[in-house]
Amino acid sequence: MILSPSKGCLTFSQCSRMAKYFHLSAKHLQNIELTQVRYPKVKRGNYASLTDKHLAFFESVLPKSRVITDATDLDAYNVDWLRSFKGASKVVLKPKTTDEVSAILKYCNDQVLAVCPQGGNTGLVGGSVPVFDEVILSTALMNEVISVDKTTGVLVCQAGCVLENLEGKVHEHGLMMPLDLGAKGSCHIGGNISTNAGGIRLLRYGSLHGSVLGIEAVKADGAIIDCLSTLKKDNTGYHLKHLFLGSEGTLGIVTKVAIQCPPLPQAVNVAFLALDSFEKVLSTFRLAKKCLGEILSSFEFMDNGSLMGAIKVFNLPCPVPENTPFSLLIETSGGNSKHDEEKLSSFLEEATNKGFINDGTIASEPSRINALWQIRESITESLKHDGYVYKYDISIPIQHFYEIVLLMQERLKDTAVVKCCGYGHVGDGNLHLNITSPKYDVDILNLIEPFVYEWTSKHRGSISAEHGLGFKKSDVVHYSKSAEALKLMAEIKALMDPKGILNPYKVLPSGAH
């Protein structure tokens, strides 16, 4: 084994060159098939269609520049990040304040106009774009940081703040955001909350259900729900904030958030390791928990297809041998560099002596750490270069973590599939299964679904670990939720949004809206 510092492997300038390919051209977006055409069984609800009268009202609430109706401009809002779904909305509204959101929703509810809330539009299950012609309400201009309390570590901000910008802001106060995502340069904190995003820091800092202290949200009828508490302890009745966490904009639109930010670590180290079997991945994970304990902040897994896709698409030097079957990115973060480096060194020595790891690279300088992380964060983007991506985000008992990848590779071996690979967060049992083909192919889809969902359900897993349900998974939620649970979800939806105007066709199964 050769375990060396990452000097010479990657540079920060190389990792920051990763391009964003979403809005390649207006023509490219126009060529994407409408969702209502690809999914003809989905029928438009009994909602009103947009008229000049409606537009006149919106322009009385917002300046005309924030009421977007140009067809070319609309394409970027109608198409999802994966370019898998395309709506036919004829207007995008861009409020700046909670009162503007309230006025818009009250009017839409009165007029029975369906509304699609949209943040950074980085979702992966079609939850942030219209299915038909819903009014798009974008939070892009709701980007004010209201306060950062250096003593308590509580950040209060509007829902449209970009996660990466918030990270920079709280860094100024010696803090960090409790979540980190590959889409941090585009995603909004409100969207993160609405989907209960997980990400690469969940192992250390837990889910947003623990980090979010308070929420302000607007119901379908325009009522403003002020639960914007900054208190860690508030046991006064129902914890209403949790209704909006993970409900994907179907119960209300999050407008402000109070979130607990942990202190910025004084010492961060990253090890990028090569392993030759998944059994050794699990052995290394058990050893890492034992040896690294409280400083273990991330434990990320990549198979060869995932790793080499990112390396080749973005022309990044590989920190491990290119033929390595499995790779791990392990991060430690703490308050004492000497202490942390000693613990990491001891862990790596034991893992080497036990034959768990074959090769690797370590980094402690910020630029090198960012470069190694960029490999992991580039995987999702790299997959789109194969053509169409069939994407599955499942959580399963860790002993079964990689089995489904091997099963799908065998099941799809005689098809036009380009790649079938897996990566994800071993620390919380979250696998990202990705299958690519040159273009969308219904025969390939039929070999994948419902098999993937049935297998996941059989192993007591969840069909959506962190991406949410959106449009893509709303009709397969029964694989993870009982009939009684789904009935209660539908009752809550009916109570909160009786006309069903908020993000229709999402989360709940067809017929439950």
Percent helix, percent strand, percent coil in the chain, to nearest 5? 35, 20, 40
Confidence of residue 23 (pLDDT cuts 50, 70, 90): very low
The 10s digit of each residue's pLDDT in 243-282 is 999 999 999 999 999 999 999 999 999 999 999 999 999 9
The 10s digit of each residue's pLDDT in 338-371 is 999 999 999 999 999 999 999 999 999 999 999 9
Closest to 357 measured CA to CA, from 268, 271, 432, 270: 271
pLDDT at 512: 67
pLDDT at 301: 96
Does residue 27 register a pLDDT over 90? no
* Mean pLDDT calculated for residue range 216-235: 97
Confidence of residue 391 (pLDDT cuts 50, 70, 90): very high
Confidence of residue 4 (pLDDT cuts 50, 70, 90): low
Give the separation between CA 367 and CA 358, rounded to whole angstroms.
25
**Residue for token digits 């090769």?**
359
Give the CA radius of gyration of the chain: 23
Does residue 15 register a pLDDT over 50? no
List, in sequence order, every residue forming a beta bridge with 54; answer none if it has no partner: none
Closest to 253 measured CA to CA, from 99, 466, 51: 99
pLDDT at 22: 39
CB of 190 closer than 8 Å to CB of 128: no
**Residue for token digits 């983007």?**
381
Alpha helix stretches (DSSP H) within 149-303 = 163-171, 189-194, 202-205, 208-211, 241-244, 278-292
Average pLDDT, the chain: 93
The 10s digit of each residue's pLDDT in 403-431 is 999 999 999 999 999 999 999 999 889 99
Give the separation between CA 187 and CA 377, rounded to whole angstroms.
14
Give the separation between CA 219 and CA 229, rounded to whole angstroms.
18
Does residue 511 register a pLDDT over 80? no
Give the separation between CA 317 and CA 8, rounded to whole angstroms.
9
3-class SS of residue 347: helix
Does residue 288 register a pLDDT over 90? yes
Does residue 213 register a pLDDT over 70? yes
Does residue 302 register a pLDDT over 70? yes
**What token pair was written down for 241?**
């904030």
pLDDT at 510: 86
The 10s digit of each residue's pLDDT in 430-445 is 999 999 999 999 999 9
Q: What residues have CB less than 8 Å from 76, skipping those under 6 apart?
A: 23, 29
Q: Which helix (H) or strand (E) holds 27?
A: helix 26-30
Confidence of residue 62 (pLDDT cuts 50, 70, 90): very high
The 10s digit of each residue's pLDDT in 484-502 is 999 999 999 999 999 999 9
Give the separation between CA 61 and CA 452, rounded to whole angstroms.
46
- Provide the residue type at 222 as one letter: G
Of 20-24, 149-153, 238-242, 359-363, minimum mean pLDDT range:
20-24
Where do the DSSP E strands lie in 365-448?
Answer: 388-395, 419-425, 430-437
Report the phi/psi class of residue 42: left, alpha or beta, with left for phi > 0 and alpha for psi in -120 to 50. beta
- Provide the residue type at 47 as one letter: Y
CB of 360 closer than 8 Å to CB of 9: no
How many alpha carbons lie under 13 Å from residue 130 in its C-beta half-sphere? 26
Does residue 9 register a pLDDT over 80? no
Give the separation between CA 312 and CA 340, rounded to whole angstroms.
33
3-class SS of residue 93: strand
pLDDT at 5: 53
- Crossing angle (nearest 10°) for helices 451-458 and 403-411: 150
pLDDT at 460: 94
- CA distances 179 to 30, 144, 197, 210, 308, Å, are 34, 19, 8, 11, 26
Give the separation between CA 129 and CA 260, rounded to whole angstroms.
29
pLDDT at 11: 36
Confidence of residue 191 (pLDDT cuts 50, 70, 90): very high
Identify whether 450 is preceded by a cis peptide bond (ω within 30 of 0).
yes
Give the separation between CA 288 and CA 271, rounded to whole angstroms.
12
Q: What are phi and psi of 249, to 5 degrees?
A: 75, 15
Give the separation between CA 421 and CA 303, rounded to whole angstroms.
7
Give the separation between CA 486 and CA 124, rounded to whole angstroms.
22
The 10s digit of each residue's pLDDT in 69-125 is 999 999 999 999 988 999 999 999 999 999 999 999 999 999 999 999 999 999 999
Q: What are phi and psi of 221, to 5 degrees?
A: -85, 5
**What token pair was written down for 496?**
């909160």
